[in-house]
Amino acid sequence: MLSAVGPPVTVRVPAKVNLHLAVGELRPDGFHDLVTVFQALNLFDEVSVVAAHTAQSRGPVTHIGPGGPGVELLGDVDAEAAGVPLDATNLAWRAAVALGEEVGREPDVRIGIRKAIPVAGGMAGGSADAAGTLLALATLWRLDIGREGLMEVAARVGSDVAFALHGGTALGTGRGENLVPVLSRHTFHWVVALQDHGLSTPAVFGELDRLRAASDVKRIGDVEPVLEAVASGEARSLALLLGNDLQAAAVSMDPGLRRTLRAGVAAGALAGVVSGSGPTCIFLCTDGPTAVRVAAELAGAGVCRTVRVAHGPVPGAKVIDGDPAR
């Protein structure tokens, strides 16, 4: 096998939203069975990996000693990103360890993450970084593992990691790791409202279990019409069908989200929904210019920290620098 020296490999990896997120019962393994439709949006983190003994500082480094294996944040690190754990619990690091175990190597690498995806926002930022790490390391180590092999490791690392590799629009079942591509040739336009705080994914799932035990919580409808709406490219049809079983739990833990959701629609979006386990809310708009207008109005409404205009679907994790095969 070739050694892991060489220039850093950089991967760009997208955020996800769930157009449909139906949550089943709590399983004995602590997870819930899901039926979900993921879509990748053009909000990207960048993940670079480099062999630890060749690592040099690549910009503002916020953590770890010189040259050692580990995780660091690159670029402007805002207060939110500063909350990302840079120890062995970091999902990107866990991905490196899992891939190392799979192929019998030490994860002797430094992982640099440039964050644009909100932290603990329900857009799978941590999972994106894990997916980016897997693809970057497979490239750095010149592994002959194939897309399928990488997807298997991804599924072990976290429920949303496989989708971040996959990208596009996909139907997810199981924990969300079993993926089938969904026909989607059309672009949808979104406004993303970010909050100044996160919500813990396990806590939101737990809150849904609690709400369901206490009363009859309404469940979202079937997934088939959502798939049809995605295939048709009709934003108006899709808007009527956006649904998330976790929304009730996220709103119960963070009641201000109700105001955010109302404000997006009042600003001209077709519909809004909490993304994943929240607190990020996403708003579907008829077209790009409308999304820009909605974003501007929402930004001034005092119901979120900041807004982004985005579109999807976009491809999954992609090597953008340092691929020796190119």
Residue (80 or 177) nearer to ligand C5P, CB? 177
Q: Say whether 321 is catalytic.
A: no
Task: Give, as ranges, the residues between 121 and 180 that touch ligand C5P (CB under 6 A).
Answer: 158-160, 175-176
- For 79, residues 6+ apart whose C-beta sits below 8 A from its C-beta are none
Nearest approach in angstroms of CB 62 to ligand C5P is: 23
Cis peptide before 313 (omega within 30 of 0): yes
Query: What values do phi and psi take at 81, rounded to 5?
Result: -65, -30
Residue that has been written with the tokens 């399928």 in this structure = 148
CA 286 to chain centre: 23
Nearest approach in angstroms of CB 122 to ligand C5P is: 11
* Segment contacting ligand C5P by CB under 6 A, of 25-33, 69-77, 114-122, 235-243: 25-33
> What is the C-alpha separation between 245 and 247, in angstroms, rounded?
5
Residue (122 or 322) nearer to ligand C5P, CB? 122
Site size for ligand C5P (CB under 6 A):
12
Per-residue buried b or exposed e for 192-217, using 16+ beta carbons within 10 Å of the residue's own CB: bbbbeebbebeebbebbeeebeeeee
Residue positions counted in the chain: 326
From 16, 115, 129, 245, active-site residue: 16
Residue (16 or 32) nearer to ligand C5P, CB? 32
- For 55, residues 6+ apart whose C-beta sits below 8 A from its C-beta are 67, 110
Burial of 3 (0-12, 13-18, 19+ CB in 10 A): exposed
Task: Give, as ranges, the residues between 277 and 316 that touch ligand C5P (CB under 6 A).
Answer: none
Q: Say whether 16 is catalytic.
A: yes
- Residue of 141, 163, 190, 205 interacting with ligand C5P (CB under 6 A): 205
Task: Give, as ranges, the residues between 228 and 267 that touch ligand C5P (CB under 6 A).
Answer: none
Residue (53 or 219) nearer to ligand C5P, CB? 219
Catalytic residues: 16, 160
Tell me which residues touch ligand C5P (CB under 6 A).
30-32, 34, 158-160, 175-176, 201-202, 205
